Amino acid sequence: MTSPLFSPFTIKQITFKNRIGVAPMTRMSAAGDSIPREDVLEFLKTRAKNGAGLVYTEAIVTDYESAQGYPGQARIVNQNQVDAWKDVTDEIRRHGAVSVCQIFHCGRMAYEGINPANRVIAPSPVAPMQENPMTGAPYPVPEQMNRFDMDHVLNGFVETAKGVVAAGFDGLELHCAHGYLLNQFLSTYSNRRTDAYGGSMENRYRFIHEVIQAVRQVMPEDRLLLVRVSNWGIADTKVSLFSDASEWRQMIQLFSKEPIDAISVSTYDFAADEFGTGKTMAKLTREVTDLPLLICGKIHDRKSAQNALADADLVLSGKSMLLNPNLVSDIAADRKLSLYESEEAGVAYTATPLP
Ligand SMILES: Cc1cc2nc3c(=O)[nH]c(=O)nc-3n(C[C@H](O)[C@H](O)[C@H](O)COP(=O)(O)O)c2cc1C
């Protein structure tokens, strides 16, 4: 029986040959040139070759001043970096897949010394509660961003978007999820501002609006602009970043007024009941937007992928795509597949090339 997973889907002029994509995955492999290791780039090409309809890059940091939160992260603002990624997008296209570059600023999820300019900035001077696994020490209390900082960060997104366009990506995703800077603005957990960028959801959303508007201007109309959202963060993972379903819906409605082409919803488990509503995050989101939706979280075999597609247009897999090079053909053949544990994904951060 043919599965809807293997039917095409089109957003504007871009057609996905199937509904299964590689979720964005940071690899921390770049040297001083901010270009990922060759085998890490090869991994993305291999996933396209092996049938994924969509291939995301790792999250690329947007400036040299305060954006980076982990060692070995990539940038895409100079010709060498653009050339390295151009080779990847060419190859992904040759295999008939769509390429999307995710870009982000880590905000308070950074630490002393990790950025060349050595600053840690965020909407408010509030540090995550947990210790930083990278240093084993508490995260530093960030400096509160003023307008000058906000303009610099905004410019970083715009300059990086120019690099993404030059490298030939079909799409660009603004990472507004997982407790990084744009998400820090959206959530009262990290945004305690009393100016026009804090308080109501409209105010907390304001900086994201500015970033979307500025980035869209440097992107040709035929390239896709996406956003990734989540109710959970990498630090303090048990914290619900939004207070209830109505806050979530309000945020989605604000995104829906923007010149964006899709919303990617990141969850721990796509099937989970969210905010006690008895509904999944994809369903809650779909109820208030007409934008195409991507969903991710424990999608690992044909059954879970098909179920996830009930309230979304494309499904993404992280750990299963990372660890199983044949995931797409295994889903097509409906092979028995199990979920991978988080610890198994640790290999992503080693120098061991992934098949
Ligand atoms: C090694 C690794 C790196 C990740 N890096 C990113 C990232 O750069 N950006 C992002 O939005 N999510 C990142 N994630 C989260 C995944 O995109 C995905 O949302 C998560 O793994 C849940 O999906 P899964 O259950 O299919 O693994 C990462 C996950 C893993 C395993």
The span from the first CA to the last CA of the chain, in angstroms, equals: 29
264 lines ligand 1 (CB under 6 A): no
27 lines ligand 1 (CB under 6 A): no
Å from CA of 108 to ligand 1 middle:
19
Please give the Cα distance from 168 to 89 (Å, whole number): 6
User: pLDDT value at position 351?
Assistant: 95
Å from CA of 24 to ligand 1 middle:
6
Å from CA of 331 to ligand 1 middle:
19
174 lines ligand 1 (CB under 6 A): no
User: pLDDT value at position 2?
Assistant: 76
User: Which atom of ligand 1 lies nearest, measured to the CA of 178?
Assistant: 11
311 lines ligand 1 (CB under 6 A): no
Q: Which amino acid is at 289?
A: T
Q: Do 106 and 61 meet the contact criterion of CB atoms below 8 Å apart?
A: yes
Predicted structure pTM score: 0.98
Q: Which two tokens stand for residue 159?
A: 């300059």
Please give the Cα distance from 195 to 181 (Å, whole number): 17
Å from CA of 318 to ligand 1 middle:
5
Å from CA of 49 to ligand 1 middle:
21
Q: What is the 3-state secondary structure (H, E, C) of 213-227?
A: HHHHHCCCCCCEEEE
User: Which atom of ligand 1 lies nearest, measured to the CA of 299?
Assistant: 26
Q: Give pLDDT tens digits for 262-288.
A: 999 999 999 999 999 999 999 999 999
Please give the Cα distance from 305 to 327 (Å, whole number): 11
Q: Which two tokens stand for residue 293?
A: 């939706």
175 lines ligand 1 (CB under 6 A): yes
Residues of the chain with pLDDT under 70: 1
Question: For 16, what's the count of Cα atoms within 13 Å in the CB-facing half-sphere?
Answer: 27
Å from CA of 131 to ligand 1 middle:
20
User: pLDDT value at position 221?
Assistant: 97
Please give the Cα distance from 135 to 119 (Å, whole number): 16
Please give the Cα distance from 154 to 116 (Å, whole number): 18
User: pLDDT value at position 120?
Assistant: 98
Residue 340: active-site member: no
User: pLDDT value at position 181?
Assistant: 98
Q: Which amino acid is at 18?
A: N
User: pLDDT value at position 1?
Assistant: 52
41 lines ligand 1 (CB under 6 A): no
All domains of the chain in start order, with CATH: 4-349 (3.20.20.70)
Residue nearest to atom 30 of ligand 1 (CA): 25
Burial pattern 112-124, b for ≥16 Cβ within 10 A else e, equals eebbeeebbbbbb
233 lines ligand 1 (CB under 6 A): no
The neighbouring-strand residues paired with 119 are none
Q: Does an H or E element contain 131, and which?
A: strand 131-132
User: Which atom of ligand 1 lies nearest, measured to the CA of 296?
Assistant: 23
Active-site position among 180, 189, 197, 205: 180
User: Which atom of ligand 1 lies nearest, measured to the CA of 316?
Assistant: 26
Please give the Cα distance from 169 to 283 (Å, whole number): 29
Output the DSSP codes for 321-348.
HHH-TTHHHHHHTT----PPPGGGGGGG
